[in-house]
Structure 1
Amino acid sequence: MLMGLAANRLHHQSEDAALFAFLRACEAGIRELRLGLHAVGRTHDAIAAAGMLRGYAPLVRYPYGREGGLMKLVAEVVGMPEPGRTLDGAIYLIDPVDPSSIFPEALALKRQCVIHGKPFLSTVASARDWVEMERIHSGLPPDRHADRFHDYEAQTLALIAHDAMKGAMLDFAARNFDLLSRFGCRVGTGTTGQRLNEMAWSRGWPAGEPWVQRFNSGPLGGDAQIADLVLERRCRRAIFFEDPHVARQHEADIQLLERAVTTATHDAVCTTSPVVAQRWCDAARLRGSRAGR
């Protein structure tokens, strides 16, 4: 597999920065997977200066962001005709108060990942969880250091979908009902939450007992309410099916939730594509069977 890699300045300017936390936790897995990484210039230079991924040939340096490095990653997510220039997704560790995180190329990188059903990993927790997921799909044994991401009974899961994606969310939740029911709590916004509850009742969930705790609809502040749970580390995983083709009247609220996720970078896992979400569910089942759960 081949992934783009970038990190805002905050995430590589000190020894305990997010980029290095991710690599310390996942360098062995990256090497096991022979994961190719197209790293934007400053991110690549920080990795080299820290002595990480030393001698790892699949780590390739791309231009600085100001020289078009991130733009090139966007084109490679879409897919270029040259061999080795189609990315399977992107790891972009975002500092939510860095102005470059809302540059056109940064927004386009996420949008094209969502459109093409590829992972867009904007937090340390998301990147760590994804590496473990791919390890499991590759037949490797569970990494015990990743166990905390799979303690579902102690976690709250957010299930959110834009209008055009509500059908996809219902299909996803019905297909993976048993796994999602293992979470200690599920939360959702307005209409999505109600439709998920109706689906759960039709599948034998106790009548009248909410399967999903409903917050306000998105336009009335539901995204902000869930963002507060994320910031308090009370919601560790969000599955947020976004429609990248429609302008949203409550765009600021959506961005608020996304900023909360990146603020809780070590704790919050966010998935924005039905394809990636299903791949995670499949890996979670495989991991559980290998761990004897």
Structure 2
Amino acid sequence: MNHTTYRTIWISDLHLGSTQCRADVLLDFLKYNDSEKLYLVGDIIDFWSLSKKMYWPRDHNTVIQKVLRKARHGTQVIYVPGNHDENVRHYDSYVFGDITVKNSDVHLTSAGKQFLVVHGDEYDSIAKCHKWLAKIGSDGYDFLIEINRLLRIVRRWFGLQSNFSLAAFVKFKVKNVVQFISDYEESIVSTLRDQKLEGVICGHIHHAEIKDIDGFLYINTGDFVESCTAIVEHFNGTLELIRWNKVEVAIADDERDERLEAEM
């Protein structure tokens, strides 16, 4: 597979330090995709999970090393913290190992369009005002991901497609969750519409999308837990949603499941 170089790449919700992180897929993505600027749009390190259980396998460390290497070799890396790594927000404007921390940033595309880059939990009323409820929801989501890992193993045994997300399936079958996603999108757009921006690029809800809402572009990077998605800017300023689900990645994911199954 050939390397692809973009002007900008946005990734979020990696959740390094949790068993939900699909580090093998992420490493494959970072291996074949380069950019002049790389945004890490929050929930990069999952301190919520680490506070409950110390989990830091070798491939999670390799992800950090790979990002640092990109930064040393000239990629401008900007880290916009989220709610799972909110302690990093205390270091706004600090530079660590060639990585700049910014609680938010305004990105100017090569086409001259301005986008606010922010994790997005600031516009989630539950995460902002009811942190305890957000953590309960996070625990439930983690449980679905764990069950999903077992389902992938079973589906593989029966010769079915193993790249199946139970959490995503539930998310779009439960009316209240679908309404939450819609409310979240509307909250961000209504708040930012009058700030001389063309749109917003965020993460947080693990639902990748590029959507025009009444002339304001809502862009969500998705995650590297379920969907394994990223937003990229081509050199002409065009923005694109990428789903990283190549065949060789699916094979690596199956191998990871087998390894984790052996650890259980």
Could you state the TM-score of these two structures normalised by the residue count of structure 2?
A: 0.31
More helix by share: 1
Which has the bigger relative contact order, CA under 8 A and spacing at least 6? Answer: 2
Which one has the bigger strand percentage?
2
**TM-score (norm. length: structure 1):** 0.28
